[in-house]
Amino acid sequence: MGSASPRDHLMKLLEPVVSAEGLDLEDITVTQAGKRRLLRVIVDRDGGVSLDDVADVSQAVSAALDDDDAMGQAAYTLEVSSPGVDRPLTEPRHWRRAAKRLVKAEMRDGTVVEGRILAADEAGVDLDVEGAARRLDYEDLTRGRVQVEFRRIDDVDGDEG
């Protein structure tokens, strides 16, 4: 295995397994949980992840781990889930998947821009900032975060009970 960390080994092992299920492997963490270890596998894709997707990926990941013995002989718990709303937006696909959402974008110059995502491509993201479109290139961004909204812009007026 050389100088590769256990996490790097798991990422390399599981990325093609997750990809074969039509999803992106976003992250892997291994933490101690009492006497067991917890292996958390975060997956996502355009359009979101269903419970059936999670079940299918969980079975495929479990089989790959058994075949590779990457987790060793000690007991562990496998948890497969999609990223939460608090996941930082760091990749073009993260920004694209957050279309129409309100975000705070942290810029490399230390400023923060808040706006709603209009569109995102491989070079940058277009935000509606106070009614005006603003283009942010990824090279100028450090990361973004979706802001929690209790009433989204696409909610229909008059639907209030």
Class of domain 6-81: alpha beta
Residue closest to 43 by CA, chosen among 7, 86, 79, 8: 79
For residue 119, what pLDDT is reported? Answer: 94
Q: Per residue in 5-37, pLDDT tens?
A: 888 889 999 999 999 999 999 999 999 878 888
How far apart, in whole angstroms, are the C-alpha atoms of residue 102 and residue 127?
9
Packed helices 6-20 and 51-68: angle between N→C axes, nearest 10 degrees? 130
Amino acid letter for position 70 = A
Q: Is the pLDDT of residue 121 over 80?
A: yes
**Cα distances (Å, whole numbers) of residue 4 to 8, 19, 37, 54:** 6, 21, 20, 27
The band of 153, judged by pLDDT with boundaries at 50, 70 and 90, is low
Please tell me the pTM assigned to this model: 0.71
Q: Which CATH number fits domain 88-146: 1.10.10.10, 3.40.91.50, 2.30.30.100, 2.60.120.260?
A: 2.30.30.100
DSSP state of 49: -
The band of 156, judged by pLDDT with boundaries at 50, 70 and 90, is very low
Q: Per residue in 39-96, pLDDT tens?
A: 999 999 888 889 999 999 999 999 999 888 778 888 889 999 988 877 889 899 999 9
Torsion of the alpha carbons at 67, 24, 34 and 1, rounded to the nearest 10: 50
Delimit the domains of the chain by residue range.
Answer: 6-81, 88-146
Q: Which three-class secondary structure string do you get for 31-44?
A: EEECCEEEEEEEEE
Q: DSSP for 123-147? A: SEEEEEETTEEEEEEGGGEEEEEEP
Angle (CA) 146 151 156, round 5° = 125
